[in-house]
A and B are shown apart, each in its own frame.
Chain A
Amino acid sequence: MSIDLSQFFEVFFEESFEGLDAMESELLNLEPGKEDSETINTIFRAAHSIKGGSGTFGFTSVSDFTHVLETLLDQVRDGRRTLTTEHVDLLLKSVDCLRTLLRALQSEQEPDLTEADALRSKFEEILGIAEATACESNDEKADEITQSTYQIDFKPKAHLFKTGNEPLFMISELGELGEIETQVFHDAIPDIAQLHPDECFLSWRFFLTTDSDSKAIEEIFEWVEDDAEITITVCGGIFEASTETLSEPESADGKSAEISSASITPPKEINKKAEPQKNNESSTSTSIRVGIDKVDSLINMVGELVITQAMLSQIGEQEITESTITALQEGLAQLAHNTRDLQENVMRIRMLPISFVFSRFPRLVRDISQKLNKQVELKLIGEQTELDKTVMEKISDPMVHLVRNSLDHGLETPDKRIAAGKEPVGTVTLNAFHQGGNIVIEIMDDGQGLNTDKIRSKAIANGLIQAHDELTADEINELIFMPGFSTADEVSDISGRGVGMDVVRRNIQALNGSVEVASASGVGSTFTIRLPLTLAILDGQLVQVARHTYIIPLISIVESLQIDITKVSRVGKDLDVLRLRDEYIPILRLYDIFNHQGAIEELDKTLLVVVESDNHKVGILVDDLLAQQQVVIKSLEANYQKVDGISGATILGDGRVSLIVDITGLIKLSGLKRPGTQELLVEQQGSEVA
């Protein structure tokens, strides 16, 4: 029977990653010297499971590596070794290394073992194992195939049956090795009065002629070694030859050690070219674990839906009278109710607690604060706040970036903090909560706050603003989200690696979210990320342009108004600007951008939808405002192709397709310039500053 093991790989990877996460968080909780046995046990079990699974499924690189981890942990578990900070560091590094290995294997790539080998030799150093043990003496001398006859005496002890072993099966297994002759001794059977039916009184003698060696026979009786008297002897002249075979492995020991150490000595290949896969590369997993309660409630709801449908079809079969119409209306209301419930619950399936993202931060903060010599306490609030899985996967990297920034730029070193009259230990708080249809994630630090003077001068140096521009503190803080901005005096290892805050903002905007910063000098800064709960549904404002219906995401709409034509002035050749309170709002004509004929062109007869993107407001000119409704987003790229200025499509109630406006893309498309400067409001595609 052949079984394709690859069908279990995905589960194995999934649980291994979970195991690694558990290991990591337990390791971080661990205080060397004060570890409790349950924590160690959990860590050990995770390593143990990964080793067992990887061995079984043929990932030897992982199982070999995990073996040393397991050995160390086992010693700690048994109290033979005390855990030091060095061990914990090494174990944490191993967790990372294993993740990388497993990820490579998951994507069916050849894993890079450079790091694993380095870590392994460190473990082996600690454990005091010679490297040679890795390859055990497997050069057993190939047995010559000779037939021999063995005499086997098998005298089970009385309690044999109570171990669950069955002599009959052993005997038939023995019989499968060759020709067998069996003698049974029943002289030990006592008088019926003393006979216990659950004890074994029989013993056997076998003569087995086989080409297998005595090892195969020993293996059959392996489990009952202590529960029976077993003697295996070779009959006839072949006896001597057999003893030689048996003693062979011992004499070969020295030789094998030599060989294996020789095979290790050749210089290890330096294959730096194959850079290990980056840890933070978000591998999008394809499966999801769902609580059984969620599935149950779905089934329940589908049940109700079926009942409603049955009711409706029953009404449909009747003759239409006034009373059936009332019933029909009731039924439809019921259907709407069911559908909404079902929709909400299906969405809930994709929802996971944000702790999945939060959990990676204790480790990150520990590592970075060590590197920076800062003392940091990390507080996590609202870990149970639920969020769509897809959003979660995409928000992780921007968050890492923001936390890094807080640690690197925000928090001060302990002596600076003491000098400023603060606790030497800085605090970084991650807080998640729901607000309306959004999830809000705050990243707060109690550090020095953003340095507005520095940002200002940097922005002037970079030509982002003019020296004479008057900006409020908030406006200055906003500048950090401009492309190509980094305030660190020198580009450090931690942040400012070229990936700027502009990328963070862009990534968050790609999720239909927003990010803001609030900061007070000497008190700290707070980054607030706002995200829709799901990417699949959007609150939209339907607008009419010529004969077409477009959808503008409600989240980006500031206000909608009738244009006061006296406040419109023309800038340059063809850009109209509306003075709205103290701001100038450029007017984008949707029909122009999307090339529609027959739209209303007179400004005073149309409506203006003021939207905000990147903290800049623009007005979108539309013929009319229609309904506001939730729309299900369908990908244009998957069904057609990417269209600039459009983020997706949806199907309206009447079956027509409506396009969803991508505000940022729209501004880019129109090539709007920032009023007063020559800078483009939004940088052109492709000119991203790395």
Chain B
Amino acid sequence: MKKILAVDDSASMRQMVGFTLKKAGFDVTEARDGSEALSIAKQQGFDAVISDVNMPIMDGITLIRELRNLPNYKFTPLLMLTTESGLEKKTEGKAAGATGWIVKPFNPEQLLAVLKKVIR
């Protein structure tokens, strides 16, 4: 079973993402902010990480940068969830090592469709 780490400070988004992915047959671990996600990610491996951008303590872009520098996450798909469809955040995210992005708002079907690009 593929393992996905879902990171969002909003409980409802986290639940929605988690529920959708679990239903689609993924093994999902949830984290509330970048720093929690980072320490979880260091303890176990994941096949993909989906992270919100704006979070307290550690934001999503910093998380992605930190993860990409870890040997275990060199090739791991790291996706960011963002409402800022502006180019700025995407470029910043890509520079930090993000694989791609999912623009909020999205529905469960869209999430799974996008995920298919990086994990099968």
Which residues of A come within 8 Å of B, CB atoms?
A: 1, 3, 5, 7-9, 11-12, 14-15, 41-42, 44-45, 48-49, 51-57, 63, 70, 74, 161-166, 169-170, 172-173, 198, 220, 222-223, 226
Contacts and interface: CB of A to CB of B under 8 A. Distances in A.
Contacts of A41: 56
Contacts of A57: 12, 16, 105
A154 to B, nearest CB: 14
Given A52-B105, A173-B117, A222-B100, A11 B54 contact: no
B15 interface: yes
B112 A1 contact: yes
A219 to B, nearest CB: 9
A196 B104 CA distance: 37
User: Among the interface residues A45, A51, A162, A223, which one has the most CB atoms of the partner chain B within 10 A?
Assistant: A223
Contacts of B72: none
Interface residues of B, number: 43
Given A162-B74, A223-B99, A53 B12 contact: yes
B13 A52 contact: yes
B97 A52 contact: no
Contacts of A172: 120
Contact of A11 (B15, B100, B108, B120): B15
A437 to B, nearest CB: 35
Contacts of A44: 54
Contacts, number: 113
A161 B75 contact: yes
B62 interface: no
Given A57-B12, A164-B78, A223 B101 contact: yes
B107 interface: yes
A193 B96 CA distance: 30
Contact of B56 (A1, A45, A161): A45
A164 B118 contact: yes
Given A52-B105, A55-B105, A56-B107, A15 B10 contact: yes
B116 A11 contact: no
A58 B21 CA distance: 20
B20 interface: yes
Nearest to A161: B75
A15 B75 contact: no
A133 to B, nearest CB: 14
B11 interface: yes
9 contacts: A3-B108, A5-B108, A11-B15, A15-B11, A53-B12, A161-B75, A165-B99, A169-B117, A198-B74
Contacts of B56: 41-42, 45
A-B interface, 6 closest residue pairs, ranked by CB to CB distance from nearest: A55-B105, A164-B99, A223-B100, A12-B12, A164-B77, A56-B105
B111 to A, nearest CB: 10
A220 B13 CA distance: 25
Contacts of B55: 45
Contacts of A170: 117
Contacts of A198: 74-75
A42 B59 CA distance: 12
B54 to A, nearest CB: 5
Given A3-B20, A3-B108, A5-B107, A162 B116 contact: no
B14 to A, nearest CB: 9
A3 B81 CA distance: 19
A11 B17 CA distance: 13
A53 B74 contact: no
B120 A55 contact: no
B87 to A, nearest CB: 11
Contacts of A1: 23-24, 108-109, 112
Given A11-B15, A162-B74, A169 B116 contact: yes
A54 B119 CA distance: 28
B31 to A, nearest CB: 16
A683 to B, nearest CB: 47
B75 A223 contact: no
A162 B12 contact: no
Given A3-B108, A162-B75, A166-B118, A11 B23 contact: no
A11 B117 contact: no
B29 interface: no
A163 B78 CA distance: 8
